[in-house]
Structure 1
Amino acid sequence: MKTFSSFSLFLLSLTFLSLQASQGSTTSSSYKDTQQLLNFKASVSNPTFLSNWLPNQNTCNFTGITCKDSLVSSIDLSSTHLGTNFSLVSTFLLSLDHLETLVLKDINLTGTISFTKCNTFLTTLDLSLNSLSGSLSDISNLGSCSSLNSLNLSNNGLDSSFLKDSPRLNLEVLDLSNNKLSGPSVITWLFQSSCNGMQQLALKGNKLTGEIGPTLATCETLTHLDLSSNNFSVGVPSFGDCLALEYLDISANKFFGDISHPLSSCHKLSFLNISSNPFGGNIPVLPVQNLRFLYVADNELHGEIPSWLSTACSNLIELDLSTNNLSGTVPSGFGACSSLESLDISENKFSGELPIDIFTKMGALKKLFLSLNGFSGVLPDSLSQLVKLETLDLSANNFSGFIPSALCQGTETNLKELFLQNNLFTGSIPSSLSNCSQLVSLDLSFNNLGGTIPPSLGSLSKLRDMIIWLNKLQGEIPQELMYIQTLENLILDFNELTGTIPSGLSNCTNLNWISLSNNKLSGEIPAWIGQFSKLAILKLSNNSFSGRIPPELGDCKSLIWLDLNTNKLNGTIPPELFKQSGSIAVKYLSQKSYVYIKNDGSKECHGAGNLLEFAGINKEQLNRISTRNPCNFTRVYGGKLQPTFYHNGSIIFLDISYNMLSGSIPKEIGSTMYLYILNLGHNNISGVIPQEIGDIRSLNILDLSSNRLEGPIPQSLTALSLLTDIDLSNNYLSGMIPEMGQLETFPASRFQNNSGLCGYPLSKCGEDPSSGLNSQHQKSHRRQASLAGSVAMGLLFSLFCIVGLIIVAIETKKRRKKKDASFDGYVDSRSHSGTANVSWKLTGAREALSINLATFEKPLRKLTFADLLDATNGFHNDSLIGSGGFGDSFRCSTKGDVYSYGVVLLELLTGKRPTDSADFGDNNLVGWVKQHAKLKISDVFDPELMKEDPTLEIELLQHLKVACACLDDRPWRRPTMIQVMAMFKEIQAGCGIDSQSTIATEDGGFGAVEMVEMSIKEVPELSSKQ
Structure 2
Amino acid sequence: MSLYLETNLFSGSLPDTLGNLSRLFELSISQNKLSGRIPVSISNLNQLNELYLQDNDFNGPIPEALGNCKKLEMLNLSCNRLDGDIPKQLFTLSSISEGLDLSHNQLSGQIPLEIGDLINLGLLNISNNQLSGRIPSTLGQCVHLESLHMEGNLLEGKIPESFSELRGIIELDLSRNNISGAIPKFFESFSSLDLLNLSFNNLEGPVPTGGIFHNKSVVYIKGNKKLCGSSPLLKLPLCDAKASRENHTSKILKILGLSAVSLLLLSCLMAIVLKQRKKVEQAAHPSCKELKKFSYADIVKATNSFSTSNLIGSGKSGSVYKARFELEEHSVAIKVFKLDQLDAPNSFLAECEALRNTRHRNLVKVITACSTFDPSGHQFKALILEYMPNGSLESWLYPKPDKYGLKSPLNLGSRIMIAMDIASALDYLHSHCLPPIAHCDLKPSNVLLDDAMGAHLADFGLAKFLHSFSHSCHQSSTSLLGPRGSIGYIAPEYGFAGKLSTEGDVYSYGIIILEMLTGKRPTDEMFTDDLNLHKYVEKVFPHKIAEVLDPSIVPSSEDGDVDNNLDHVNNATNGMESCIMHLVEVGLSCSIETPKDRPTMQVVYAGVTTIKETYGALHG
Report TM bin, short chain.
0.3 to 0.5
TM-score w.r.t. length of structure 1: 0.29
Q: Which has the higher helix share?
A: 2
- Flag the structure with more relative contact order, 1 or 2, with Cα contacts below 8 A and sequence separation at least 6: 2
TM-score w.r.t. length of structure 2: 0.45
User: Looking at CA atoms only, which structure, 1 or 2, has the larger radius of gyration?
Assistant: 1
